[in-house]
Structure 1
């Protein structure tokens, strides 16, 4: 199975976003076809004859929150499971080109408002039921349904461009026009206008209609088929069969996998502290460590010295950030589960963008990379992956470390130290303290929090550094919009399918945790995908350049750095062919040289 990273998945999250899509993230003039490349990816004589059987063990530094349903999961640790169990109509290769997966071919209509997929005809769900076009319709209809967001769903960017979405989502009609099954193996996606990102939008992992059809959307996040090992059903090469919650998660081969029976019998995930990964790789207790965090840069030399371990290092499809809670939702909107920017309450403590800019100048990001990443990463100045041509590394404000500039901006904004205690008061002369929040699990993030506190206090900003919170609780607090948060640390795994940042930074995006509400930003992001001009990649790149300049000026978050991915695996594991965004590629062809 070729995996693809599709929605943002991933806090470092997600949102696998890993996308396994992973989350799980194009268009063409007419027809785009591809052939199944299993034959070319089969084990070669160079690595010896492939052996059936065996178990490999992988490491996660944080336990999955426990939602194993593609339309509702929110963190990259859940995506680690879903990457092996669920699949999409299309996937991607090392050049980020779209390839067939559950769909064997597709064709656009003349005006690019429709794309019709012909599905593979031999795919079965893990319980033996046939995969059909109705499953595709059901998946997208569920995401488009009234009550999806209120139930905790955050993937609406995949359906918002579909024909009739607003009327169906608002309840004006119970007919869903956007995705239509022509027959059991043919499904058409219909868009309200020519769509530049049609294949991206059609790349969401599919869930089984026969499992969820009788479960109301509001109850789906709590269903057994969402939460329980043994009940989670996908089409992927491995089945999620057992778990000891918070400790161990077991996947077993899907013998009837449509691309052929996997070589491995089992993949076992263990939740382990990052500090013990080196020792476990050395002893063979672990066979691999990869998404979402890999191993720590500080451990690179130790791991590279291990004769039994192969290292994969490449730029990460994502970044770490310090977000600003620019606005807060009202308690009423939080309770109702709705996102209404017109109701948001400004956070007065950081409402002046000069304050946010001063904070950016006060943080020595290069210093963080040297101290924490041992140089294995880079400062980036926009929330777009550097692998895309749309990334502009020059025009946006670079915010190079400058303590004097930070102090100057704070002075101009009226934040000065009036009582000579070393910390600044607000323009009204009142005590000014910013809270800084961060989760447990990611060692780099945990180590960076007190360093950032020290940097900000050096320019007179008093920081209330909160105690770290277990990640599932942390993400829940972010989603529910705690009104006493000012600064927060987070990481995003980005989509590999398209640079469109609206899923994270649109004013109505569920993942826009800082509640940034900038009309010009929304207009630019819409313009970047507006046909017909947006079919020209150079045009899109220019619009995204303008957007990145705006982002860095208004600064809803400080992008701290993009670290390199550092993955490692035991050399007994064969046929590992990593992609730019994931190590989990054609995992049904993985095998071990000794059981």
Structure 2
């Protein structure tokens, strides 16, 4: 399950530190009592929430929302125009924007902005900030992970327009969920490379204190939506999943998204806690796939990727690595739960096999010129079929998944090894192409539509040569002109044109399944564990008002703004 914020932002390590405000004062780090009793909770006065995002190792300070190493500025500190709940249908929730509308042919999106909003340094928020933010995306391709390409214009202080030369209905959700930054501070920085240490936003929280082991945000008393009831949120850096599970057992963490033992019986084991989950992220072995862009290794052969897909016993994988919380996955990467209607009828298989099919893997490899050696492992042209999977140290479920896959793959004649590294190193490897395979999850876009996942991960314009940072999230370095053309056509079609859209999905899904740059594992359930004795208002029991993952920043902000402490003084 992904522990980082699943947003379409390019990944690159930052190199230059600038302070955005000379006068912003850092508050005191809130001290949280570490109690051993599972019923003790974590905050002394009931209004402090302690969260664990899955951060393995110390935090490196950076609150630049356009940076791959941003540790938590989106939503809480910097807000978008609207919030879209990916787990349900319904209208976007107004934030910095209050209304939006399209012209009849879908070329102009008009947005009305909220009046009376101020940045946390007291400066007024206006249309100039909105225009500046989107123009910055146009001027800096390295941060334009969604491929934003509209002309943005100010109508007056509370109205802006976005104009495209062709219909652009599908681009609307990405536009209205992009976070906005203050022009008066950001005009002097390099958004691609600068580290932000003292962020100024319009959000419900401001940075209070930062240390490598933990950072704290505090409620913004002048927030336009009213000061949130959860007054302080402390984000811990631990050593990995086991430490997170231990913290739940000790009652020292209130919210984490990640595995703990016997998750199905969390409330029975820990009466102050319960769980919530939604299966929406496709767990994959992402490959550095394109040799033409500099990828090296046997994983550049589509036959190898296909063979590994059939070598996996997903029933066993689910049981051993994911406590049977994962769900089926379509190799088209469309969700079978909510996007089944968009799965092309010509694609086979429509759902990944639940058990291993080694004979199918053998058929694919043999036809491609691979032959088994004396050690039972395939080889071709003197190259052994040995693959290394990158994983973050401490992500125990993913590490167990690789170990399980390695045993399954060996039975099919494929050698698989794991390479563990810090989250920063793992991110840097993926987005510069210095890897063979990496275990991670793809993620849904701002609206429940498979178009967005395809545009993030399969658009050749969102990648780069090995050694250069990918311009977007296409770290597999997948490139197919037919897919690019289909994405371009989809971006111009009305959501109501189901026949026209399906014709383009057919093209994309054929390439996705045939070439398989991201090898499908399962759809991850991303289960959160949260303190129900200390806080009420979690998105469960039919109240799925946001995606319930602590690392999904825009969703987490909505959750934190909704929660009510039960015992605040």
Does residue 108 of structure 1 match 2:95? no
Does residue 423 of structure 1 match 2:377? yes
Q: Identify the range of structure 1 (109-118 vs 394-403) with the bigger mean alpha-carbon deviation.
A: 394-403
Find the residue that maps to 2:210 and give its secondary structure: strand
Query: 2:214 aligned to 224, 248, 254, which one?
Result: 248
Find the residue that maps to 1:116 and give its secondary structure: strand
1:212 positional shift? 0.9
Does residue 323 of structure 1 match 2:286? yes
Find the residue that maps to 2:525 and give its secondary structure: strand
Does residue 86 of structure 1 match 2:48? no
In the alignment, the residues of structure 2 paired with residue 521 and residue 301 of structure 1 have an alpha-carbon distance, to the nearest angstrom, of: 44
Tell me what 2:369 maps to: 414
Q: In 2 relative to 1, CA 282–467 (structure 1 residues): closer, same or farther, beyond 3 Å?
A: closer
Report the TM-score, using the length of structure 1 for normalisation: 0.77
Instruction: Write out aligned runs for 1:123-272 (5 A).
Output: 123-146=117-140, 148-149=141-142, 153-157=143-147, 159-160=148-149, 162=150, 178-202=151-175, 203-217=177-191, 221-223=193-195, 226=196, 228=197, 231-245=198-212, 247-272=213-238
Please provide the CA RMSD for this pair: 2.7
C-alpha contact (below 8 Å) 1:352/1:413 kept by paired residues: no
C-alpha contact (below 8 Å) 2:170/2:492 kept by paired residues: no
In the alignment, the residues of structure 1 paired with residue 387 and residue 144 of structure 2 have an alpha-carbon distance, to the nearest angstrom, of: 28
Q: In 2 relative to 1, CA 411–210 (structure 1 residues): closer, same or farther, beyond 3 Å?
A: same
Tell me what 2:50 maps to: 57
Query: 1:387 aligned to 323, 326, 338, which one?
Result: 338
Tell me what 1:360 maps to: 309
Q: In 2 relative to 1, CA 446–189 (structure 1 residues): closer, same or farther, beyond 3 Å?
A: same
Query: 1:495 aligned to 445, 450, 474, which one?
Result: 445
1:110 positional shift? 3.0
Find the residue that maps to 1:560 and give its secondary structure: strand
1:351 positional shift? 4.1
Q: In 2 relative to 1, CA 554–100 (structure 1 residues): closer, same or farther, beyond 3 Å?
A: same
- The gaps in structure 2 that reach 5 residues or longer are 11-44, 463-471, 550-555
C-alpha contact (below 8 Å) 1:87/1:102 kept by paired residues: yes
Report the TM-score, using the length of structure 2 for normalisation: 0.81
1:283 positional shift? 4.2
Tell me what 1:67 maps to: 62
Tell me what 2:486 maps to: 524
- The gaps in structure 1 that reach 5 residues or longer are 1-9, 20-51, 163-177, 329-342
Q: In 2 relative to 1, CA 207–429 (structure 1 residues): closer, same or farther, beyond 3 Å?
A: same
In the alignment, the residues of structure 1 paired with residue 9 and residue 188 of structure 2 have an alpha-carbon distance, to the nearest angstrom, of: 29
1:469 positional shift? 0.9
1:156 positional shift? 4.2
C-alpha contact (below 8 Å) 1:61/1:271 kept by paired residues: yes
In the alignment, the residues of structure 1 paired with residue 511 and residue 242 of structure 2 have an alpha-carbon distance, to the nearest angstrom, of: 40
Q: In 2 relative to 1, CA 466–587 (structure 1 residues): closer, same or farther, beyond 3 Å?
A: closer
Instruction: Write out aligned runs for 1:327-342 (5 A).
Output: 327-328=290-291
Find the residue that maps to 2:134 and give its secondary structure: helix
Q: In 2 relative to 1, CA 450–185 (structure 1 residues): closer, same or farther, beyond 3 Å?
A: same
1:480 positional shift? 1.5
- Measured against aligned partners, the alpha-carbon deviations of 1:370-406 in whole angstroms (never above 9, x if no partner) come to 2222221112123234434665286442442201111
Find the residue that maps to 1:587 and give its secondary structure: helix
Does residue 513 of structure 1 match 2:487? no
Q: In 2 relative to 1, CA 155–259 (structure 1 residues): closer, same or farther, beyond 3 Å?
A: same
In the alignment, the residues of structure 2 paired with residue 390 and residue 61 of structure 1 have an alpha-carbon distance, to the nearest angstrom, of: 34
Query: 1:377 aligned to 295, 319, 326, which one?
Result: 326
Q: In 2 relative to 1, CA 560–180 (structure 1 residues): closer, same or farther, beyond 3 Å?
A: same
Tell me what 1:332 maps to: none
Does residue 574 of structure 1 match 2:536? yes
C-alpha contact (below 8 Å) 1:313/1:566 kept by paired residues: yes
Find the residue that maps to 2:441 and give its secondary structure: strand
Tell me what 2:423 maps to: 471
In the alignment, the residues of structure 1 paired with residue 297 and residue 401 of structure 2 have an alpha-carbon distance, to the nearest angstrom, of: 26
Q: In 2 relative to 1, CA 13–384 (structure 1 residues): closer, same or farther, beyond 3 Å?
A: farther
In the alignment, the residues of structure 2 paired with residue 294 and residue 421 of structure 1 have an alpha-carbon distance, to the nearest angstrom, of: 37
In the alignment, the residues of structure 2 paired with residue 301 and residue 349 of structure 1 have an alpha-carbon distance, to the nearest angstrom, of: 42
Tell me what 2:525 maps to: 564
Q: In 2 relative to 1, CA 277–18 (structure 1 residues): closer, same or farther, beyond 3 Å?
A: farther
In the alignment, the residues of structure 1 paired with residue 288 and residue 265 of structure 2 have an alpha-carbon distance, to the nearest angstrom, of: 38
Q: In 2 relative to 1, CA 355–195 (structure 1 residues): closer, same or farther, beyond 3 Å?
A: same
Does residue 307 of structure 1 match 2:271? yes
Q: In 2 relative to 1, CA 348–144 (structure 1 residues): closer, same or farther, beyond 3 Å?
A: same
In the alignment, the residues of structure 2 paired with residue 286 and residue 87 of structure 1 have an alpha-carbon distance, to the nearest angstrom, of: 26
In the alignment, the residues of structure 2 paired with residue 53 and residue 399 of structure 1 have an alpha-carbon distance, to the nearest angstrom, of: 46
C-alpha contact (below 8 Å) 2:277/2:548 kept by paired residues: no
Aligned length: 498
